């Protein structure tokens, strides 16, 4: 604790100034560390967009920058979801794109022309610096200790739980959303502490910005009402609560409704009903408090309280009734699966198929948060000790976010801020206790000393036998204990920095577009098949050639190859995805009409068998089957893809359905030719492939990348003389019909 040191440098007004300077320097260094630790991937590889989703954001940002804001706002994208198209302006959160568009134009105006790609790549690191600052402000509201805010800022700056979603190149909504989340919470705490409508309105504005940036705004709309509700239940209703909440709700709801994607949701869907309910409850409680202040009798006051409870119960029942009758939309599947964790797996395979939607394992907590995770409960406990309005918020947030992060890996992200704050509170408490040079006065054992403190203590001393009760001032006297504890804490903090850097460097800084591997001599070998294939598509196909692939690659094809796709990562139309799944998992004769109907020109599959790249389409194949089965249960059956003993095999023992499926054929087409006869090996599944490879009739191989990761097939046109493709192909191969077939087949009547 700097303030209590003895040096004159830190005393008085000069001390205040130098502390301020120190604080600014520390914050700048924290921002620098936050940005620098996110640049591993840019320095190692290159400045590109990484995952799947960011490619769409990048494409939308390019559209915004080149066409202007109004065109972007009502942009109908006819290059995705091919026959349908996508009303992009009404189905995306525009906050991210608009932010980087504003930065782009601001830099232009300052005559620093920066490529829009670089702005998109470096947006997340830039905003992580701001997040650290917002965490500093937020924690300062919680604690009077001068070190708590700074500790929270550095934790937030380098904690891997947040870095995982905000490395350079991950141009995703979370990049700016976490900053907005923490800053909105800061403004909310400020509003509820001061009871000021101004801060409430600011909070609403930033809440509106948050709504425009990320679908996770639902977390805020439920957390703030929950905080207020807990306060009311604790009997802490005050005019400050009324002013701040009502201002926030009235303005924030209107602000959120301005976003076309959100629209009328804040009054129509169940996720937002808690905010509305608490708004109504506050009006009621406020009114009753007003009446009660003018009423003398005690019975009447209890009557009023009963009135509040009754109205609350009735309106709650009304809400439930409205939800059941369908006026208010029930929970969406994605949200509902947070409560009923088995729901998605049974009913909506497309939600369960995403790897981020799985429950979190224990090591993930330690991996992402290292020492913060065991300081976290201590910090929450400290909040219980001093339970003011803002501490209640920390407690509520901590409980809710811990639960959600346990259900879904992805929500670790919303847990990280509160873990950083709570850990900083606990750690600063320890440091404040052990870093004071001045020892407290040694209490003498004599009764005279006891008497000199005051009478009340003496009285207590007689009643209570505990020593700690007799001497309420507990202090640390020996220098040794101070030094040892502080040294231990410093060591932990240094290890924390090491851990964070190691995790960031090894786990979270690899672009999924480029696969890196090490040669035996330590040099880096880069496998760049994705871009090779996408570039081939971009240069060697027609401008409007439709590409069919599984939905994972939709955004990347749209972004890098610039070709229309059938389905993409925005999974708004389950049936359309199931159509693609059916085409991939059926026999060629079934798939070909589907592909013709959808005007597919090329089919793209990802195959990792040669390289041992496990995230390929054969491993995702079962999800395609399941999703297709959900729509056409009697045409696609998951059971058929397993052997008699229930194994999922691709080698000789594979079922006939598996061998006939389009996906299997396209993946292993000509794969035998790479190996000496009889030795074809699939390195992902670790099995020997059958002697004879599959035969393709309706599609032909158009491109295969260097390491066979991406294979592109061209859909053949209809046969010139009207044969079906199988017989045409067998004719081409020269399989002559037996001469002896004089016997005519059963004749059919010509109708025309």
Least distance CB 98 / another protein (angstroms)? 15
Q: Pick from 300, 339, 403, 502: which binds another protein (CB under 8 A)?
A: 300
Asked whether the beta carbons of 671 and 608 are under 8 A apart, the reply is no
Q: How many residues does the chain have?
A: 752
Q: Pick from 63, 75, 242, 648: which binds another protein (CB under 8 A)?
A: 242
CA 424 – CA 25 distance, rounded (Å): 19
297 near another protein (CB under 8 A): yes
Instruction: Fill in the per-residue mask, 189 to 208: x = in contact with another protein (CB under 8 A), - = not in contact.
Output: -----xxxxx-xx--xx---
CB nearer to another protein: give 210 or 600.
Answer: 210
Least distance CB 186 / another protein (angstroms)? 17
Span near another protein by CB under 8 A; candidates 81-89, 130-138, 239-247, 336-344: 239-247
711 near another protein (CB under 8 A): no
What are the contacts of 687-696 at 24+ separation with CB within 8 A? Answer: 687/649, 687/650, 687/651, 688/651, 688/652, 689/650, 689/651, 690/651, 690/652, 693/668, 693/669, 694/659, 694/664, 694/665, 694/668, 694/669, 695/665, 695/729, 696/588, 696/665, 696/666, 696/669
CB nearer to another protein: give 327 or 469.
Answer: 327
Instruction: Fill in the per-residue mask, 442 to 461: x = in contact with another protein (CB under 8 A), - = not in contact.
Output: --------------------
Nearest to 99 by CA among 126, 131, 134: 126
235 near another protein (CB under 8 A): yes
Least distance CB 390 / another protein (angstroms)? 14
315 near another protein (CB under 8 A): yes
Span near another protein by CB under 8 A; candidates 65-73, 232-240, 400-408, 495-503: 232-240
How far apart, in Å, are the Cα atoms of 412 and each of 49, 265, 340, 404, 407? 22, 26, 18, 8, 9
Least distance CB 368 / another protein (angstroms)? 38
Please tell me whether residue 448 adopts helix, strand or coil conformation. Answer: helix
CB nearer to another protein: give 315 or 505.
Answer: 315
CB nearer to another protein: give 325 or 454.
Answer: 325
Largest Cα separation within the chain, whole Å, is: 127
Count of positions on this chain that bind another protein (CB under 8 A) = 55
Q: What is the DSSP letter of 512?
A: S
Least distance CB 350 / another protein (angstroms)? 30
At 711, give phi and psi (nearest 5°). Answer: -125, 130
Token pair of 726, please? Answer: 């199988």
CA 737 – CA 742 distance, rounded (Å): 11
Judged on CB neighbours under 10 Å (0-12, 13-18, 19+), 168 is buried
Least distance CB 293 / another protein (angstroms)? 5
How wide is the angle at C-alpha 17 spanned by C-alphas 12 and 22, nearest 5°? Answer: 120
Nearest to 337 by CA among 261, 278, 408: 408
How far apart, in Å, are the Cα atoms of 659 and each of 24, 437, 611, 677, 690? 65, 77, 21, 20, 11
CA 611 – CA 448 distance, rounded (Å): 83
246 near another protein (CB under 8 A): yes
Q: Pick from 192, 224, 231, 243: which binds another protein (CB under 8 A)?
A: 243
328 near another protein (CB under 8 A): no
Q: What is the DSSP letter of 329?
A: B
Q: Pick from 14, 66, 91, 258: which binds another protein (CB under 8 A)?
A: 258
310 near another protein (CB under 8 A): no
Q: Within 267-296, which residues bind another protein (CB under 8 A)?
A: 267, 276-277, 279-281, 283-287, 289-296
Please tell me whether residue 386 adopts helix, strand or coil conformation. Answer: coil
Q: Pick from 40, 81, 136, 237: which binds another protein (CB under 8 A)?
A: 237
238 near another protein (CB under 8 A): yes
392 near another protein (CB under 8 A): no
CB nearer to another protein: give 87 or 594.
Answer: 87
Collect all residues with Cβ–Cβ distance below 8 Å to 658 and sequence separation of at least 6. 640, 641, 649, 650, 664
314 near another protein (CB under 8 A): yes
Q: Count helices and strands (H / E) in the chain.
A: 34, 10
Instruction: Fill in the per-residue mask, 117 to 136: x = in contact with another protein (CB under 8 A), - = not in contact.
Output: --------------------
Q: 232 has which bridge partners? A: none
At 329, give phi and psi (nearest 5°). Answer: -65, 135
Least distance CB 188 / another protein (angstroms)? 15
Q: Pick from 236, 538, 587, 598: which binds another protein (CB under 8 A)?
A: 236
Q: Pick from 318, 330, 440, 686: which binds another protein (CB under 8 A)?
A: 318
257 near another protein (CB under 8 A): yes
CB nearer to another protein: give 327 or 494.
Answer: 327
CA 42 – CA 59 distance, rounded (Å): 20
370 near another protein (CB under 8 A): no
Neighbours of 248 (CB within 10 A): 31
To which residue do tokens 């101004």 refer? 198
CB nearer to another protein: give 242 or 731.
Answer: 242
Helix (H) / strand (E) containing 702: strand 699-704
CB nearer to another protein: give 238 or 457.
Answer: 238
Q: Pick from 255, 421, 500, 566: which binds another protein (CB under 8 A)?
A: 255
325 near another protein (CB under 8 A): no
Instruction: Fill in the per-residue mask, 42 to 81: x = in contact with another protein (CB under 8 A), - = not in contact.
Output: ----------------------------------------
CB nearer to another protein: give 212 or 353.
Answer: 212
Least distance CB 304 / another protein (angstroms)? 11
Nearest to 155 by CA among 175, 176, 182: 182
Asked whether the beta carbons of 74 and 85 are under 8 A apart, the reply is no
CA 338 – CA 555 distance, rounded (Å): 26
329 near another protein (CB under 8 A): no
Q: Pick from 57, 147, 247, 549: which binds another protein (CB under 8 A)?
A: 247
186 near another protein (CB under 8 A): no
How far apart, in Å, are the Cα atoms of 193 and each of 196, 239, 255? 8, 11, 23
Span near another protein by CB under 8 A; candidates 241-249, 331-339, 442-450, 715-723: 241-249
Site residues (vs another protein, CB under 8 A) = 194-198, 200-201, 204-205, 235-240, 242-243, 246-247, 249-251, 253-255, 257-258, 264, 267, 276-277, 279-281, 283-287, 289-297, 300-301, 311-312, 314-315, 318
């Amino acid at each position: 604790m700097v303030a209590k040191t003895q040096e004159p440098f830190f005393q008085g007004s000069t001390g205040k100034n130098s502390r301020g300077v120190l604080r600014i320097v520390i914050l700048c260094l924290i921002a620098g560390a936050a940005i620098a630790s996110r640049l591993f991937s840019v320095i190692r590889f290159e400045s590109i967009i990484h995952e799947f989703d960011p490619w769409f954001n990048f494409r939308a940002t390019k559209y915004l920058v080149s066409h202007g804001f109004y065109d972007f706002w009502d942009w109908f994208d006819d290059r995705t979801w091919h026959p349908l198209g996508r009303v992009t302006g009404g189905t995306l959160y525009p906050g991210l794109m608009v932010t980087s568009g504003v930065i782009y134009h601001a830099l232009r105006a300052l005559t620093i022309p920066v490529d829009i790609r670089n702005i998109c790549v470096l947006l997340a690191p830039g905003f992580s610096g701001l997040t650290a600052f917002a965490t500093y402000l937020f924690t300062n509201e919680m604690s009077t200790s001068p070190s708590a805010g700074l500790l929270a800022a550095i934790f937030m700056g380098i904690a891997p739980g947040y870095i995982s979603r905000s490395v350079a190149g991950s141009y995703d909504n979370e990049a700016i959303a976490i900053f907005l989340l923490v800053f909105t919470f800061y403004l909310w705490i400020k509003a509820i502490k001061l009871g000021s409508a101004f801060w409430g309105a600011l909070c609403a504005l930033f809440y509106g910005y948050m709504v425009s940036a990320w679908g996770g705004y639902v977390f805020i709309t439920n957390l703030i009402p929950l905080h207020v509700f807990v306060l009311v239940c604790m009997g802490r209703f005050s005019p400050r609560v009324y002013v701040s909440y009502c201002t926030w709700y009235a303005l924030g709801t209107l602000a959120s409704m301005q976003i076309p994607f959100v629209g009328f949701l804040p009054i129509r869907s169940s996720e937002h009903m808690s905010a509305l309910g608490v708004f109504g409850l506050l009006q009621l409680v406020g009114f009753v408090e007003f009446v009660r202040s003018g009423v003398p009798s005690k019975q009447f006051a209890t009557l009023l309280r009963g009135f509040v409870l009754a109205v609350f119960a009735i309106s709650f029942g009304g809400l439930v009734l409205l939800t059941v009758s369908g006026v208010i939309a029930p929970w969406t599947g994605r949200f509902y699966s947070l409560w009923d964790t088995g729901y998605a797996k049974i009913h909506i395979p497309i939600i369960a198929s995403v790897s981020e939607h799985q429950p979190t394992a224990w090591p993930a907590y330690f991996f992402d948060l290292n020492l913060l995770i065991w300081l976290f409960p201590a910090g929450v406990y400290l909040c219980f000790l001093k339970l003011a309005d803002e501490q209640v918020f920390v407690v509520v947030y901590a409980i809710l976010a811990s639960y959600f992060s346990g259900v879904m890996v992805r929500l670790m992200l919303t847990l990280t801020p509160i873990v950083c704050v709570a850990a900083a509170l606990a750690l600063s408490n320890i440091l404040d206790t052990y870093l004071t040079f001045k020892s407290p006065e040694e209490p003498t054992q004599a009764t005279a000393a006891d008497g000199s403190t005051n009478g009340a203590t003496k009285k207590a001393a007689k009643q209570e036998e505990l020593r700690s009760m007799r001497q309420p001032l507990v202090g640390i006297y020996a220098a040794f204990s101070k030094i040892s504890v502080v040294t231990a804490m410093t060591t932990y903090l240094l290890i924390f920095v090491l851990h964070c850097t190691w995790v960031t460097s090894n786990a979270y800084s690899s672009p999924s577009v480029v696969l890196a591997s090490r040669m035996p001599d330590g040099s880096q070998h880069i496998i760049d098949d994705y871009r090779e294939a996408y570039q081939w598509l971009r240069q060697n196909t027609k401008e409007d050639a439709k590409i069919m692939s599984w939905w994972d690659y939709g955004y990347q094809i749209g972004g890098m190859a610039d070709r229309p796709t059938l389905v993409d990562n925005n999974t708004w139309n389950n049936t359309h995805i199931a159509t693609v799944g059916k085409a991939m998992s059926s026999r060629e004769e079934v798939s070909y009409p589907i592909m013709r109907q959808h005007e597919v020109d090329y089919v793209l599959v990802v195959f990792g068998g040669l390289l041992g790249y496990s995230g390929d389409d054969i491993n995702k194949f079962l999800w395609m089957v399941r999703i297709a089965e959900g729509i056409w249960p009697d045409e696609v059956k998951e059971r058929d893809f397993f052997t008699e003993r229930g194994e999922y095999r691709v080698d000789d023992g594979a079922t006939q359905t598996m061998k006939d499926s389009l996906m299997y054929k396209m993946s292993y087409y000509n794969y035998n030719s790479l190996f000496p006869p009889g030795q074809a090996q699939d390195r992902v599944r670790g099995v020997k492939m059958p002697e004879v490879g599959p035969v393709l009739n309706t599609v032909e191989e158009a491109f295969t990348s260097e390491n066979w990761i991406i294979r592109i097939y061209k859909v053949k046109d209809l046969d010139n003389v009207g044969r079906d493709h199988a017989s045409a192909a067998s004719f081409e191969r020269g399989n002559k019909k037996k001469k002896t077939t004089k016997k005519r087949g059963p004749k059919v009547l010509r109708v025309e």
